[in-house]
Amino acid sequence: MNRFFFHLARVFPLIPLKTLTSATKQRTIFPFYHAVSNEEIIHIKHLYKIRSTGDFERDLDFLVKNFIPEDILTFQEKLKNNEPLKHNSFILSFDDGLSEFYDIIAPILLRKGIPATCFLNSGFIDNRDLFFRYKASVLVEKIKKTKSDTFVEKAKIFLKSKNLRAKDISESILAINYPNRSFLDELAIILEVDFSDYLNVKRPYMSSDQINSLIKKGFRFGAHSIDHPEYANIPQDEQISETLESINDVTNRFQLNYKFFSFPFTDFDVSGRFFSRIFSKEHPIADMTFGCAGLKNDSCTDNIQRIPIETDNFTATEIIRGEYYYYIFKGLFNKNIIFRGN
């Protein structure tokens, strides 16, 4: 549905951003990315499209022209004190703690004077392991590049034995979910892919030293679960422990005096009871949490919805403008708030 409005924004970009922000009263937006690179990243290649540095800089130019960049702690302070948000602002964040954040993104942001927050999977810091979806992308690449029919045949037999039959091998590898993630390790052995080797050579994640040096430069860090499960696929006590343990790990490891968390994949279907525990008055687990449902309000006001920018070939201009159009459209049916059941 969003894509329809991104297309609409592409062909009809005439309404001034100021009109859209004041009509919707949505003055603060939370765009987010994973990586930026001019080179192909094998572990992301088959999952989603990332921005080149040129496209990323164009996105940022659009953002600073229409919104003031704001630090997440300043925003948190305003939220806590119920201070009115007087100007249009944007709060930028990045998920997964990838090395491109250190090598490519942070230098651009420092040059432009834009603050940002990066959310880390506590189990992957220092390249200790690889996210299961990234493993899937690496395996799909191996299948697509292999000249050996034996590999393809063996992969087919394996996938069939696990009841993962799709028309296409790549499709069925990419459909492997968190509860079945060990299939990816088994398939890697069959395809002679060594994930430890991949981690050592490619260093997909930031090291603790790199993170510490970015903290000194003013960047903020939060948690993004231990190993990136789909919350809808795990029981609630596991959702709580993934959240609690990753926040504790990140805040202790880097001595942070704030506790932020962004949901791995999505917070869709996460219950009101989960949020009551996370934000309990006596023992809060987090100060603020972040989803990715676009421009939307949440009945849990400490859970902020962000706008994913890595969507096909749409520019940030089209996506953000399109999100405002979509927000106005949904407003006609009172559909701009996410209600949380138990």
Among 90-98, 99-107, 178-186, 280-288, the segment contacting Zn ion (CB under 5 A):
90-98
Question: Residue 96, interface with Zn ion (CB under 5 A)?
Answer: yes
Question: Residue 70, interface with Zn ion (CB under 5 A)?
Answer: no
In the complex with Zn ion, the residue whose CB is nearer, 31 or 264, is: 264
* Least Å from the CB of residue 15 to Zn ion: 32
Dist. CA 211–CA 261, nearest whole Å: 16
Among 55-63, 82-90, 260-268, 322-330, the segment contacting Zn ion (CB under 5 A):
260-268
In the complex with Zn ion, the residue whose CB is nearer, 95 or 323, is: 95
Q: How many residues bind Zn ion (CB under 5 A)?
A: 3
* Least Å from the CB of residue 131 to Zn ion: 7
Among 66-74, 241-249, 257-265, 290-298, the segment contacting Zn ion (CB under 5 A):
257-265
Question: Residue 95, interface with Zn ion (CB under 5 A)?
Answer: yes
Question: Residue 242, interface with Zn ion (CB under 5 A)?
Answer: no
* Least Å from the CB of residue 206 to Zn ion: 14
* Least Å from the CB of residue 94 to Zn ion: 10
In the complex with Zn ion, the residue whose CB is nearer, 20 or 286, is: 286
Q: Phi/psi of residue 67, each to 5°?
A: -140, 150
* Least Å from the CB of residue 30 to Zn ion: 15
Q: Which residue has the CB atom at the shortest distance from Zn ion?
A: 95
In the complex with Zn ion, the residue whose CB is nearer, 290 or 325, is: 290
* Least Å from the CB of residue 133 to Zn ion: 8
Among 94-102, 171-179, 272-280, 332-340, the segment contacting Zn ion (CB under 5 A):
94-102
Question: Residue 100, interface with Zn ion (CB under 5 A)?
Answer: no
By the criterion CB under 5 A, which residues form the site for Zn ion?
95-96, 264
